[in-house]
Amino acid sequence: MDQHTGYVKVLVGGRGEKSGNRTLNRATDSPRQPGSSIKPLAAYGPALDTGAITLASAIDDSPYYYSSGQLVKNFTAGEYRGLMTVREAIYRSQNVPAVKVLTLITPQVGFNYLEKFGISTLVSPQKAINGSHDIVQPLALGGMTLGVTNIDMTAAYAAIANHGTYTKPVYYTAVYDYKGNLLLDNSSSETHTVLKEQTAWLLTSALESVITQGTGTSAALSNQPVAGKTGTTNNETDKWFCGFTPYYTASIWLGYDDNSKVLSKSISHTKIWQTIMSQIHEGLSTGEFTQPSGIVTAQVCSQSGKLAVAGLCDEDPRGSQVITEYFSADNVPTEECDTHVKVTICNDSGDIASAGCTNTSTRVYIKKSSSGTASDEESSYSAYDSSYAITDEKLSRLCSLHNGSNASAVKPGSQTTEASQAVTTPSNTAGTTAANNNGTNGNTSNTTGTSAAHNNNQSSSAAQNPTTASQNWNTAE
């Protein structure tokens, strides 16, 4: 499809020897489960468009449950990679972040966007089939009642390629009778806006990462940039690749009509797409996905998606987590990273050091809401970054071996800003107010019982704040 006009250039409804006329056309008439190829349309695109996320938003790829109580599994079961940016979640095609993002914007909003993208096989609750409809969390992963058709997916991706504007597929422009009289005029396209132009470009940028470093590397073309997304269903009965260049959009689906066989691993859907598209683009000059106005870059922390803090985000034990990302100018992070914390641990007890602890070590952790572990009947899982993470529960636990008076989590000489961030959360509860103001803006708090900390340049926020930690976080995803 030419995304600029909506003209369908080629449509292949099946392979092999032609056996009849007007037989099943798989490109237009076979709704199939889209798998992960739906993620940009149902979850990430809408969430970027509504400002709920940025490409840098950090989503915790850790064990997570649907509201039904069922564990969300990644493509590789048990592979939970921990905090990752939306861009990484897209190019690695991890499932948990997609479900979390759809849950954040609500399945209803995702459904509404799919309607705008022209997906014609959606099932609303009013038209539920055997109780099944598509306004559900698994929609994020392509768990749909009927599925989608190839032409609808192609037109939807063409809308991303066409700066966010959808064009209804055009199969012919005019029909004349034998005398040359115009019988049907189909030359004017039906179009409408789905995504803001900035959203479309940001999403395209992330979909380029799928090709350059993600699940779709085999789709790369030698003379054009490519953006796209893979999709594979649970039992590998359907494989999709939907993608576009600056010229054309194409989707490929592989599968058996009756799901009778599992697709051979040796068949590469991305390679087939690449083979077809490289022929189509032969001789065309190298195009580009033109950046619209209203896009800016910013240096942020990959573990929080917020502005990087020197001495924290660049001192992650795994290496600096400071990245540069593109943002819509109206949705640039303004808050500083509150995921990275510098914590002093008492080596004797393993708990947060108090003033009386002498054998301590200090390092930067990432603060997470839970331990990131889960189990099902088969195995137990934990996120890859769990050894770098510290929970609010742990942050609230002061060393009881040496817990003398006026405990402090911070060694003399440490910067107070780090101390504040080390053990507090951005909540509005008493106690954190003092910590947040300590040594920063001098905004004197009236909170009783915590004012002592203001005059104490060696912040004692750990001691005063142990109970507030878990109250106001776990909202980011």
Which residues 6+ apart lie within 8 Å of 449 measured at CB?
430, 464
Instruction: Give the separation between CA 440 and CA 449, rounded to whole angstroms.
Output: 19
Decide if residue 196 touches Zn ion (CB under 5 A).
no
For residue 59, which of 350, 326, 401, 372 has the smallest C-alpha distance? 372
Q: State the nearest-atom distance from the C-beta of 356 to Zn ion, in Å.
A: 7
Q: State the nearest-atom distance from the C-beta of 337 to Zn ion, in Å.
A: 3
107-116 and 95-105 are packed helices; what angle lies between their axes, rounded to 10 degrees? 90
> Helix, strand or coil for residue 211?
helix
Decide if residue 399 touches Zn ion (CB under 5 A).
yes
197-213 and 150-161 are packed helices; what angle lies between their axes, rounded to 10 degrees? 110
Shorter beta-carbon distance to Zn ion: residue 361 or 373? 361
Shorter beta-carbon distance to Zn ion: residue 347 or 467? 347
Q: State the nearest-atom distance from the C-beta of 438 to Zn ion, in Å.
A: 20
Shorter beta-carbon distance to Zn ion: residue 303 or 458? 303
Q: Sheet containing 360-368: give its strands across.
A: 340-346, 360-368, 389-391
Shorter beta-carbon distance to Zn ion: residue 210 or 308? 308
Decide if residue 346 touches Zn ion (CB under 5 A).
yes
Decide if residue 434 touches Zn ion (CB under 5 A).
no
Q: Answer positive or negative: Cα dihedral of 377, 379, 383, 386.
A: positive
Look up residue 103 and give its two tokens: 């849950």
Q: State the nearest-atom distance from the C-beta of 301 to Zn ion, in Å.
A: 3
Shorter beta-carbon distance to Zn ion: residue 236 or 348? 348
Q: Which of 42, 211, 357, 469 binds Zn ion (CB under 5 A)?
A: 357
> Between 279 and 308, how does the x/- string for binding to Zn ion read (CB under 5 A)?
----------------------x-xx----
HSE of 151, CA atoms in CB hemisphere, 13 A: 21
Shorter beta-carbon distance to Zn ion: residue 49 or 338? 338
Decide if residue 407 touches Zn ion (CB under 5 A).
no
Shorter beta-carbon distance to Zn ion: residue 31 or 356? 356
Shorter beta-carbon distance to Zn ion: residue 358 or 455? 358
Look up residue 173 and give its two tokens: 């422009």
Decide if residue 136 touches Zn ion (CB under 5 A).
no
Contact 49, 199 (CB under 8 A): yes
Contact 86, 100 (CB under 8 A): no
Q: Which of 12, 174, 329, 401 binds Zn ion (CB under 5 A)?
A: 401
Range in contact with Zn ion (rule: CB under 5 A) among 4-12, 78-86, 375-383, 392-400: 392-400
Decide if residue 402 touches Zn ion (CB under 5 A).
yes
Contact 107, 123 (CB under 8 A): no
Shorter beta-carbon distance to Zn ion: residue 53 or 200? 53
- Please give the size of the binding site for Zn ion, defined by CB under 5 A: 13
Shorter beta-carbon distance to Zn ion: residue 224 or 416? 416
For residue 298, which of 21, 85, 52 has the smallest C-alpha distance? 85
Range in contact with Zn ion (rule: CB under 5 A) among 1-9, 82-90, 181-189, 339-347: 339-347
Instruction: Give the separation between CA 445 and CA 465, rounded to whole angstroms.
Output: 15
Residue 1 CB-density burial (10 A; 0-12 exposed, 13-18 middle, 19+ buried): buried
Q: State the nearest-atom distance from the C-beta of 308 to Zn ion, in Å.
A: 6
Shorter beta-carbon distance to Zn ion: residue 85 or 274? 85
Q: State the nearest-atom distance from the C-beta of 358 to Zn ion, in Å.
A: 8
Decide if residue 83 touches Zn ion (CB under 5 A).
no
> Between 359 and 378, how does the x/- string for binding to Zn ion read (CB under 5 A)?
--------------------
Decide if residue 313 touches Zn ion (CB under 5 A).
yes
Decide if residue 341 touches Zn ion (CB under 5 A).
no
Q: State the nearest-atom distance from the C-beta of 310 to Zn ion, in Å.
A: 10
Contact 363, 343 (CB under 8 A): yes
Instruction: Give the separation between CA 450 and CA 471, rounded to whole angstroms.
Output: 18
Burial 326-344 (b: 16+ CB within 10 A, else e): bbbeebbbeebbbbbbbbb
Instruction: Give the separation between CA 123 and CA 356, rounded to whole angstroms.
Output: 63
Instruction: Give the separation between CA 301 and CA 475, rounded to whole angstroms.
Output: 18
Shorter beta-carbon distance to Zn ion: residue 114 or 301? 301
Decide if residue 337 touches Zn ion (CB under 5 A).
yes
Contact 43, 59 (CB under 8 A): no
Q: Apex CA 451: angle with CA 446 and CA 457, to 5°?
A: 135
Decide if residue 340 touches Zn ion (CB under 5 A).
yes
Range in contact with Zn ion (rule: CB under 5 A) among 51-59, 165-173, 354-362, 411-419: 354-362
Q: State the nearest-atom distance from the C-beta of 334 to Zn ion, in Å.
A: 15
Decide if residue 58 touches Zn ion (CB under 5 A).
no
Give the interface with Zn ion as residue ranges (CB under 5 A): 301, 303-304, 313, 337, 340, 346, 348-349, 357, 399, 401-402
